[in-house]
Structure 1
Amino acid sequence: MLHLMETPAPAAHVDGINRENRALLERLHRDMPGAFDVEHASAVLGLEATRTRTLLAYLARRGWLSRVRRGLYIAVPLDTRRPGEWTEDAWIVAERTFSPCYIGGWSACQHWGLTDQLFRTVLVVTGRKVRGREPVIQGAPYRVTVRSVDKLFGTTMVWREQVRVPVSDPSRTIVDILDDPTLGGGMRTVADVVHEYCTGEHRDDDLLISYADRLGHRAVFKRLGFVLEHLDIDAPGLIEACLERRSSGLIALDPSIAVNGPIVRRWGIRVNVTLGTPGGDW
């Protein structure tokens, strides 16, 4: 939430806006902590939609509102020296724009130290319908993937400036990128992340299995079991759990790559991407 600063009583013009418009802006700060559109602002301000639309456009031109996308705004902090140049933290923007949501995939991998790769695009998992899946907001690129609200579990809150933002915990992050390897930057990167998870402080086999069961996508167990064996990770109990839960049929190790490859029937996987050592190249 954006917090108001204590300020002296405003003069006729303070910070480039008059007393009336500043009062309306303060009300938006107080009652609209997230992103808002004309309809929501109109209800909060008690103004007609036409008047509200004009006001929001005016405040946006002066830099006191930032356009998230067409018709959607967030308020710029009142203590900002140069409002026209201000940008919000990308994770905070995501939470305010796509809530209910969490930061996941490669962004969560970076947060938990599971990868050394740098991804500029912020990956967001949301429970709401969105139009574009790769929006650019305030100059920051996002990739948005949609799940039903009941699948938005396995998260923890982290502080970004003075705002709490949900991010998938390490185990949920692993489940997500095994379910859809593109969320982790492709299966090669996913395999590296799984290795880091299984050999590091975040490993929790029981929680990992619980999350995968709850998500209900059996392909997760196929990819996990295959990667564990291929990378020669010491996890006999986890491998056995994957064998018990693997689905029938054949899946691609990396479904984003339209390439044939050898089939590992133990896991029902077509190995269409090279993971490399220690289990040998495919």
Structure 2
Amino acid sequence: MMTQENPSQLTPALRLVQKLAAEGYRIFSTEDVRGMAPEVGLSAGYVVQALHHLVRTGWLVRLRKGLYTLSSAVPGISPAHEFEVAMALVSPAAISHFSAMHHYELTEQIPHHVFVTTTSDQSAPRGAGAGYRVGNTTYQFIRIRPERYFGTETVWLGEARVTFTDMARTLIDGLMMPQYCGGIAEVMHGFEVARDRLQLDQMIGYALRLDHATVKRLGWVLEQTGFERSALTVLQEVEVTGYTKLDASGSREGPYNRTWMIQENFSGKVRA
């Protein structure tokens, strides 16, 4: 193993890996490496080639242009968490949608992608529209307008600080984009699971900051979940000019609910 060898017998590139691990660099940039290159005997002109070599030989993982992480092959380090990687890929970033639902235990399903909400088009890696792959993980970036980026919380996951959409925002995002949350049935199940944890005023406030379609979907779902209509008056009183599909990703079919101005294009039932 690398740590069992005499450092003087290591190549400059491997001494670089050793130094990165010793100093706690879990995710780092090309510029970080340039700064420490003289200390490991790596010439400034060889930095980029050394990084490419270390990626090819499995010591590093390339996250995006100019950004890397140590691989699990490096002794004595724990690889960066997939959510920690997401925080480094775009800024701002919040783990959201199905990934956040799983984090809050609102679904028993395991997402196949890491869903990340951001406001930036420019910072998202190329290929992000169809999912951006890093190692065995695919990141799905969901871009929203800056004024819609709210309802987040930051927590520690091991050694990493990770931002999530909070539970209320996560469920509301499910009403707006159920296709990123396992489908409308899974979103409705999430509301049922979260029933006793929901902060009604917070959810209503979030919906009113978004759009009328979200307001009406939220009112319908909350009533179905067991909240009294009298507690949802502010949502019911929002005026709309037409019917909104309950399942935003579904087709226009199903009965019309005049109370909430919702077309109930979902034939299933919320599972307990």
User: In the alignment, does 2:135 pair up with 1:141?
Assistant: no
Structure 2 contact 119–144 (Cα < 8 Å) conserved: yes
1:100 is aligned with what amino acid?
P
> How many angstroms does 1:255 deviate by?
2.4
CA change 1:92–1:233 in 2 (3 A) is same
User: In the alignment, does 2:215 pair up with 1:221?
Assistant: yes
- For 2:48, the equivalent position in structure 1 comes to 53
- For 1:4, the equivalent position in structure 2 comes to none
CA change 1:191–1:143 in 2 (3 A) is same
> How many angstroms does 1:139 deviate by?
0.6
Q: TM-score, normalised by structure 1?
A: 0.77
Paired with 2:237 and 2:18, the residues of 1 have a C-alpha distance of: 58
Structure 2 contact 192–225 (Cα < 8 Å) conserved: no
- For 1:184, the equivalent position in structure 2 comes to 181
Structure 1 contact 102–152 (Cα < 8 Å) conserved: no
CA change 1:233–1:97 in 2 (3 A) is same
> How many angstroms does 1:253 deviate by?
1.4
> How many angstroms does 1:11 deviate by?
2.2
User: In the alignment, does 2:226 pair up with 1:233?
Assistant: yes
> How many angstroms does 1:33 deviate by?
6.0
Structure 2 contact 59–73 (Cα < 8 Å) conserved: no
Paired with 1:8 and 1:247, the residues of 2 have a C-alpha distance of: 70
The correspondence for 1:244, drawn from 205, 228, 237, is: 237
User: In the alignment, does 2:8 pair up with 1:12?
Assistant: yes
Paired with 1:128 and 1:250, the residues of 2 have a C-alpha distance of: 32
Q: TM-score, normalised by structure 2?
A: 0.79
User: In the alignment, does 2:99 pair up with 1:107?
Assistant: yes
Paired with 2:69 and 2:192, the residues of 1 have a C-alpha distance of: 42
CA change 1:117–1:42 in 2 (3 A) is closer
1:96 is aligned with what amino acid?
A
1:55 is aligned with what amino acid?
A
> How many angstroms does 1:180 deviate by?
1.8
RMSD: 3.4
- For 1:66, the equivalent position in structure 2 comes to 61
Q: Secondary structure at the match of 1:164?
A: strand
Structure 1 contact 28–41 (Cα < 8 Å) conserved: no
Indicate the percent of aligned positions where both proteins have the same amino acid: 26
1:261 is aligned with what amino acid?
G
Q: Secondary structure at the match of 1:12?
A: helix
Gaps of 5+ in 2: none
User: In the alignment, does 2:168 pair up with 1:171?
Assistant: yes
Paired with 1:257 and 1:75, the residues of 2 have a C-alpha distance of: 40
What is the CA deviation profile of residues 144-183 of structure 1, one whole-angstrom value per residue up to 9, with x for unaligned ones? 2012344332222222221110111111112211222223
- For 1:152, the equivalent position in structure 2 comes to 149
What is the CA deviation profile of residues 26-71 of structure 1, one whole-angstrom value per residue up to 9, with x for unaligned ones? 46996976464x5x558756899964331221221232320224x3
Gaps of 5+ in 1: 1-6
> How many angstroms does 1:87 deviate by?
5.2
Paired with 1:148 and 1:48, the residues of 2 have a C-alpha distance of: 43
> How many angstroms does 1:99 deviate by?
2.7
Paired with 1:21 and 1:220, the residues of 2 have a C-alpha distance of: 53
Paired with 1:73 and 1:197, the residues of 2 have a C-alpha distance of: 38
> How many angstroms does 1:136 deviate by?
2.0
CA change 1:82–1:23 in 2 (3 A) is closer
> How many angstroms does 1:196 deviate by?
1.9
Paired with 2:100 and 2:156, the residues of 1 have a C-alpha distance of: 14
CA change 1:176–1:78 in 2 (3 A) is closer
Q: Secondary structure at the match of 1:241?
A: helix
